[in-house]
Amino acid sequence: MILLSATFSLNRQSLVKALVLPCLIQAGGAEALEIGEGIQLHGFLSQAAAVTDHNNVGGKSSQGVALNLREVGGNVSWRADPDWLVSAQVLARWAGGADDGDVRLDYGFVDRTLSSGEGRFGVQLGKIKNPYGLYNTTRDVAHTRPGILMPQSIYWDRIRDFVLAAPGISIYGDTSRAAYGIGWRVNALTPAADSREAEFITFLQERPGHFNGKTSWLGQVMFEFDNDRWRLAVSAGELAMRYKPDGISDWQAGSTYFRPRALSLECNGEEWSFTAEYSETGVRRRSYGFTVPDNTAQAYYIQATWRIKPQWQAYARYDVLYADKTDKRGERFFLNTGLPKHLVFSEDITLGLRHDLDSSWAFAMEIHHVMGAAWLPRTDNPGVPTKDWNLLLLQAAYRF
């Protein structure tokens, strides 16, 4: 078992203890705490350990066991009446050099249902989760992910805050019938973009300056058939950010636009689940004082999950990311930049095993064999990453 541990600065420790830890101590199971009429409180924490033969994940994993992969969070929801919901979540997250444990509002919104019945229509206002793929709205809690590590081709952890949730407004609706259900959502948002990893993705290096999110949108339509045995989702949008250089620089202010399109399919049986997601993301860079060709990233994964017993499941995944679908092996990238070809593609074969001790505790193990470094956090790998590498992940997670 991995011992759950956390290291906080004094201010972070005080805030997390005040908001989350007392509830974790009182909680005896995965059921929500009722702290008032219509008010529920949930909490979660997880600790992972990473070991790699080359490259680094969650700290210096190539030199020993890296433990800087940790989450502590809590959320509260208040349903004043059937048509009104207020919900918020705070989180402290550690993920190597990409995330240092700053406590932040993960999401927080007011939800108003405007009509209900067979068809429902409503609006949300605040910091809202973004509808993308099958798992973006549930990826914040370890128990609801399809593995310890999300499929990195579709759900980039290195810029998690950019895609998970953002301030804005969302309109949504759903309709249920005996044979099927349809749900849709459209968000107008301003994403969080000021991170070192955003600079690496745009410039392949750190630059003196910072990014800010620009007005963006994301939308999704979800179809469910045969009592949720089948799920099909179509997602699309445009996420934009603007760069402003600091001081004197030969780089000018510019904007980057990500235009993702994704198709997701899942089939759930009694013992087996099969999941596949495919996306193409157009990347457009404007200004910056230099010319960078537009490109389209291509990504997909397929995963099979076998529920061996009620509390045991095993899974296998093949996960692929190409930064440019017309230059999958980086030949043109190398000619243009002189940088290694494997910086712009990744192919990841994953085998995993998970044991749910009860409704609160879950323990998991994953083995990854990776070729390429397209999704590898550059903050943990400042030099030139190795092309072929292996990763072992262990995780313990608790929730109520």
Q: How far apart are CA 102 and CA 87, in angstroms?
A: 21
Average pLDDT over residues 39-46: 94
Residue 148 in contact with residue 142, Cβ under 8 Å? yes
The answer to whether 53 and 46 have CB atoms below 8 angstroms apart is: no
Residue 285: predicted pLDDT: 85
Give yes or no for residue 41 having a pLDDT over 90. yes
Q: Decide: 300 and 279 in contact? Cβ < 8 Å.
A: yes
Task: State the amino acid at position 115 in one-letter form.
Answer: S
Query: Are 241 and 256 contacting, i.e. CB atoms less than 8 angstroms apart?
Result: yes
What is the average pLDDT score of the chain?
87
Least confident range from 89-93, 184-188, 254-258: namely 254-258
Count of CB atoms situated within 10 Å of the CB of 252: 12
pLDDT tens-digit map of 48-92: 999 999 999 999 999 999 999 999 999 999 998 989 999 999 999
Average pLDDT estimate for 96-105: 87
pLDDT for residue 149: 95
- 143: tokens are 């128990």
C-alpha separations of 20 from 14, 27, 90, 93, 101 in Å = 10, 11, 9, 13, 14
In this predicted model, what pLDDT tens digit does every residue of 314-359 receive, in sequence order? 999 999 999 999 999 999 999 988 999 999 999 999 999 999 999 9
Is the pLDDT assigned to residue 244 strictly greater than 90? no
| pLDDT reported for residue 208 | 76
Cα dihedral 391/373/101/60 (nearest 10): 50
Q: What is the pLDDT of residue 205?
A: 66
**Nearest of 223, 252, 237 to residue 186 by alpha carbon:** 237
Label residue 18 by pLDDT band (50, 70, 90).
very low
Average pLDDT of the residues in 267-280: 96
DSSP helix/strand/coil, 137: coil
Most confident segment among 4-13, 14-23, 94-103: 94-103
Residue 69 near residue 51, CB atoms below 8 Å: no
Q: How confident is the model at residue 136 (pLDDT cuts 50, 70, 90)?
A: very high
**pLDDT digit string (tens) for 276-315?**
999 999 999 888 777 677 899 999 999 999 999 999 999 9
Question: Topology of domain 10-399, per CATH?
Answer: Porin (2.40.160)
Angstrom distance (rounded) from CA 344 to CA 339: 10
pLDDT of the residue at 298: 97
Q: What is the pLDDT of residue 30?
A: 56
Give the pLDDT confidence score for residue 248 in this predicted structure: 63
pLDDT over 70, % of the chain: 90
pLDDT of residue 325: 95
Predicted confidence band of residue 168 (pLDDT cuts 50, 70, 90): very high
The model's pTM is: 0.87
